[in-house]
Amino acid sequence: MAKYLSIVVPLLNEEGNIKPLYRAIRTVCEAHAYDYETIFVDDGSMDQTLSILKELADKDNRFIYLSLKRNFGQTAALAAGLDCATGRFIVTLDGDRQNDPADIPGLLEACEKGGYDLVNGWRKHRKDPFFTSVLPSNVANRIIKKITGVRIHDTGCTLKIFRREILEELHLYGEMHRFIPALLHWTGAKIGEKEVTHHARQWGKSKYSLRKLPRIVLDLINIKFLISYSTRPIQVFGKFGLYAFFFCLVSLSSLIYMKTAQGIDMTGNPFLFLTIFLGFIGVQFVTMGLLGEINIRIYHESTRRKIYRIAERGGVS
């Protein structure tokens, strides 16, 4: 039976945080008389996380747990929880107790009254190490805002609330959980933001590492391509191909001038090799663009997936 509210929590080795977080969620939801379910997702933990989840599930029929076969990553854990959720509204929050369940009613109110499809939490006053967490996050958020055009401050905040229907357009993979607002913005979702409380970690170790930055950068490049060119790859590959052809013509013109006007021998001339190289690169890029267009056409025709999203319809059918 569908619930009013689903709360999804991904976990990795958080045995000391599970019960306090569960009690905090239950206290908030019962105080507001929500018809709710909690879904805790164990992402291949090596501690007693799974045992504690089983214990809670035996005591509370509103508590659901999922145990993944191995550590697939936070994106996969969130995706599993979102797929399982039945609520009209779905909340996600971290399992480390740095997000505060007491912020859920405020997010829900903002989502309902503002007509938003997603309300993203903003950890304005973060309680994390500055140089290893806060500073890289601030820089990344500025870059993400610039590239994606989504005007929110904290895309990496797990504390979010969604309308169920908008999640049908969300397909997560890789490390894409950091870019959920951008992915949904691309589908036409109305996105809001609300300041939320952020606590210092009381138990366990942070899973965040600067070693993840290269993966985040690559995923950001992927997001930019998806948003700008996923339905028209010829626009990006063909553009590089045309640039290559232009410089190929410049190099060829230089070759002709040197041969006819100056009588320079072309044997071993670097402009000769440059012309051939640029011509080859131009053909390659244009061909890649055309093949991309063919693949996009096959994909859309086989899946019959629409390239548009209707916000509202009125009148007689």
pTM, to two decimals: 0.75
Q: Which one is predicted more confidently, 169 or 78?
A: 78
Percent of the chain with pLDDT over 70: 88
Q: Which one is predicted more confidently, 310 or 64?
A: 64
Rounded to an integer, what distance in angstroms lies between the CA atom of residue 99 and that of residue 202? Answer: 12
Rounded to an integer, what distance in angstroms lies between the CA atom of residue 232 and that of residue 35? Answer: 44
Asked if 215 and 116 sit in the same domain, the reply is: yes
Please indicate, yes or no, if residue 317 is contained in any of the structural domains: no
Which of 233, 90, 62 lies closest to 165, judged by CA? 90
> 279 pLDDT exceeds 70?
yes
**Residues forming beta bridges with residue 162, ordered by sequence position:** 90, 118
How many Å separate Cα 168 from the centre of its chain?
15
What domain range is 299 assigned to?
234-303
- Cβ atoms of 166 and 184 closer than 8 Å: yes
State residue 7's pLDDT score: 96
- Cβ atoms of 194 and 121 closer than 8 Å: yes
Asked if 130 and 218 sit in the same domain, the reply is: yes
Where is the domain boundary, 184, 209, 229?
A: 229
Q: What is the pLDDT of residues 4-54, one digit of tens each?
A: 999 999 999 999 999 999 999 999 999 999 999 999 999 989 999 999 999
Asked if 82 and 187 sit in the same domain, the reply is: yes
Q: Which one is predicted more confidently, 207 or 157?
A: 157
* CATH classification at residue 60: 3.90.550.10
Where is the domain boundary, 196, 213, 229?
A: 229
Tokens of 125: 């006053």
Tokens of 239: 């553009």
Please indicate, yes or no, if residue 16 is contained in any of the structural domains: yes
Distances (CA, A) of 184 to 56, 107, 113, 242: 33, 17, 19, 32
Please indicate, yes or no, if residue 214 is contained in any of the structural domains: yes
Asked if 222 and 246 sit in the same domain, the reply is: no
Q: How many domains does the chain have?
A: 2
Please indicate, yes or no, if residue 314 is contained in any of the structural domains: no
Q: What is the pLDDT of residues 101-122, one digit of tens each?
A: 999 999 999 999 999 999 999 9
Please indicate, yes or no, if residue 85 is contained in any of the structural domains: yes
